[in-house]
Copies of this chain bind each other. A is one copy, B any other.
Amino acid sequence: MTLEHKEAFGLLEKSDNILVLTHRNPDGDAVGSAFALRSILKEMGKRVRVEIDTVPPSLSMPVTEEAFGDFEPDFVVTVDVADKKLLTDEHLEKYGDRVNLAIDHHESNKPFAENLLLDFRASAACEVIFDMLEEASFSVSEATATALYLGISTDTGCFRYPNCTAHTLYAASRLVEKGAPNAEINRIVFETKTRAYVQLEALAMSSMRTYFDGKCAVIVITQDMFGKTGTTEADVHGIAALPRQIEGVMAGIVIREKTDGTYKASVRTNEPLNAAGICGVFGGGGHRLAAGCDLTGTKGQVVNAILEAVEEALKEI
């Protein structure tokens, strides 16, 4: 059942012993929306537990830990999960068929929960939660503001991307007013690079190739490059945005080799090219201008496969 913001809030109000889940490889919006919901529910006097994959240090500001005795959830919420397949394997098995409420903002959302609060005009799941609090006239605490700011700022590339609306900026303004330490979060998330990352970025940029009259730029990051620079797959996040930034590029693609020898592609496009469409060819998905997919084969096969999909997509625009 599809809910309005206030109805979703009402469901949470009626519940107790709430388990909050998000997708694996959590990004800023996953961390922010999970821990924002945690602090809201705690303030409402609920028992809450967040179960989340490893959180990268740069996104850990809202994370709070708490010892739990026995905790048997009566109510399971997912945040920022567009498809139950994106849950960890453990969560998928245990809770995949008993999620009571999903709060999401992905246009590609595949409903899986008993109730769904979906607003794909929102830049982030955190913006959906902010709106829910406004609708319910629930006061935003500093802890909640901090978590929500993290999610909104990371999902919009710090308010740069086209998903940042007037309302997104309004939400951010209110959150900073409520005490979200925007300067500190921005410095840690957007303005701090390790030396190892800087080296990886330099290697990556020098390995970039362009295709189709410069409309497509492709970077392949190999395990060897991670090894040489002392970086990991988590460091690829910052690089994913770079090829699309080059003048004339419609599709910027960063393919990384995973430890098991398969590949993962991050596809960023400029309008009117649809990134989710390109990734959909390979069973992936995401947003219109930022999507991802898994690929198997040799490095050459993988690059060729994605180039074919890009070529098809370019023909259609």
Contacts and interface: CB of A to CB of B under 8 A. Distances in A.
Interface of A: 158-162, 164-170, 172-174, 176-177, 182-183, 186-187, 190-195, 198, 201-202, 205-206, 241, 244-247, 270
Contacts of A246: 192-195, 198
Contacts of A159: 158-159, 172, 182, 186
B176 A161 contact: no
Contacts of A270: 187
Contacts of A182: 159, 164
| Oligomer: number of copies | 2
B187 A164 contact: no
Contacts of A195: 246-247
Given A162-B187, A191-B245, 17 more contacts: A158-B158, A158-B160, A159-B172, A161-B183, A162-B183, A162-B186, A164-B182, A164-B183, A166-B173, A167-B173, A169-B173, A170-B173, A191-B244, A192-B245, A193-B245, A193-B246, A194-B246
A172 B161 CA distance: 14
Nearest to A190: B160
Contacts of A161: 183, 186
A208 B191 CA distance: 17
Contacts of A162: 183, 186-187
Contact of A166 (B166, B177, B201): B177
